[in-house]
Amino acid sequence: MKSQKGGDFIEEKQLVEIIDHKLALRMDLTREYTDTELKSLIGSCIEELEKKIPMMQINKDVLLADVFNERRRMGIIQPFMEDHTLNEVMINGTDCIFIEKDGALLECEERYRNKDELFHTIQSMLSWANRAVNESSPIVDARLSSGARLNVVLNPVAINGPIVTIRKFAQRQYTMEDFIANRTLTQEMADYLKHAVSERKSILVSGGTSSGKTTFLNMLAFFIPADKRIVTIEDSAELRLPHRNVVRLETRNANTEGQGEIKMRALIKTALRMRPDRLIIGEVRDESALDLLTAMCTGHNGSMSTIHANSAEDTLVRLETMALWEGHINSTAIRRMIVSGVDLIVFLERSEEGRFVKELAEVRKCEAKEVLLERIF
């Protein structure tokens, strides 16, 4: 779209820059503006500019949205961030953007003009999280103000970079009825799991990437009695529980000077001093597996966590392997801890038809140095 000024045509992108400049002059930088206030201010700038430049061929609503997105520093991906039906936004360099919607990957028409524009967006997103990325530190993870998880990888690590991956969180809470309706699990499975949670069974939810582990864990936690004290520990705060007595802890990455890191292990040890009735770990992925097992074996029944694995049986192997990273305990002791502390494994699988519970198994006993599972469903 173009607008005419005298005998010259002005591209819409130029109009965005002109209006953004006018907006900067009007804004009071000592205060924060709500989205509604900012859009109103942009609208008045457009009206003022329209008196000087006819905009008959310009969609002023689109122009307002473009200026707003530029000012909020999300640029061309702002509409994706506002679309609650999308799960992930993936940017592979300047000319390739994918989104995930309903389990399907779709390529978008949007493109960045150059690497500077993309890098500007990256730096703006990271500034909200007080993080930085550069050639000397080309990989960074952060959490946006919306709660979405952000991963950035720059050149030269990413050959076709910069690469940006944003994992968004569901805006609505999925209930057990939702999972039954979309055939993630059966009514029989649902009844079994409700009873297991109320009976303080310790549960591991496992599966591959984007199999819905955290969403499923959040749903299970709803069945914890309302009068219980819950402590949640996550790398990125995703869990949202309706309980009043909830303590939410989140790990922290080191700053640009390599200081200030707070690991999962430290938070688990801290949580045990908070008198939790239930301990929920967003995901166990390192030697903190030993701390989780220790908690499960020392009176904190009904604890829950997620773990990446390819099957229910593989879940036990992964858990044991990560616990062994501690280096001060042998396999036999860890397997005994697994039998003592872990009651159930729910394995989720993702396919073209959707996400579903493929296995629900009980941890039975340790026989001939092997942990045995009994498949319930």
Q: Is the pLDDT higher at 206 or at 14? A: 206
Is the pLDDT score of 7 beyond 50?
Answer: no
Contacts of 215 (CB under 8 A, 6+ apart): 170, 174
Among candidates 264, 259, 261, 229, which has minimal Cα distance to 249? 264
Is the pLDDT score of 252 beyond 70?
Answer: yes
pTM of the model: 0.74
Strand pairing category for 304-308 and 344-351: unpaired
77-105 per-residue burial string, b: 16 or more CB within 10 A, e: under 16? bbebbeeeebbbbbbbbbeebebbeeeee
pLDDT of 34 reads 74
How confident is residue 5, by pLDDT bands cut at 50, 70 and 90? very low
pLDDT of 372 reads 87
pLDDT of 17 reads 76
pLDDT of 154 reads 94
Is the pLDDT score of 4 beyond 50?
Answer: no
Whether 220 and 244 have beta carbons less than 8 Å apart is answered as no
User: Could you tell me the fold of the domain covering 176-375?
Assistant: Rossmann fold (3.40.50)
| CA–CA distance, 87 with 184 (Å, rounded to integer) | 17
214-237 per-residue burial string, b: 16 or more CB within 10 A, e: under 16? bbbbbbbbbebeeeebbbbbbbbb
How many Cβ atoms sit within 10 Å of the Cβ of residue 239? 21
How confident is residue 164, by pLDDT bands cut at 50, 70 and 90? very high
Per the prediction, the chain carries an average pLDDT of: 86
Instruction: Tell me the per-residue pLDDT of 83-95, one tens digit each, with 9 for 90 and over.
Output: 888 889 999 999 9
Q: Is the pLDDT higher at 236 or at 290? A: 290
pLDDT of 2 reads 45
Same fold, 76-167 and 176-375: no
| CA–CA distance, 325 with 248 (Å, rounded to integer) | 26
Instruction: Tell me the per-residue pLDDT of 282-318, one tens digit each, with 9 for 90 and over.
Output: 899 898 999 999 999 988 999 999 999 999 999 999 9
Contacts of 356 (CB under 8 A, 6+ apart): 183, 184, 185, 348, 349
Averaged pLDDT for residues 105-121: 88
Averaged pLDDT for residues 270-291: 92
Whether 311 and 298 have beta carbons less than 8 Å apart is answered as no
The listed CATH number (3.40.720.10, 3.30.300.10, 3.30.450.370, 3.40.30.10) that belongs to domain 76-167: 3.30.450.370
Is the pLDDT score of 9 beyond 60?
Answer: no
User: What are the residue boundaries of the structural domains of the chain, listed by start?
Assistant: 2-72, 76-167, 176-375
How confident is residue 370, by pLDDT bands cut at 50, 70 and 90? confident
Q: Is the pLDDT higher at 54 or at 217? A: 217
pLDDT of 181 reads 92
Is the pLDDT score of 329 beyond 70?
Answer: yes
How many Cβ atoms sit within 10 Å of the Cβ of residue 297? 17
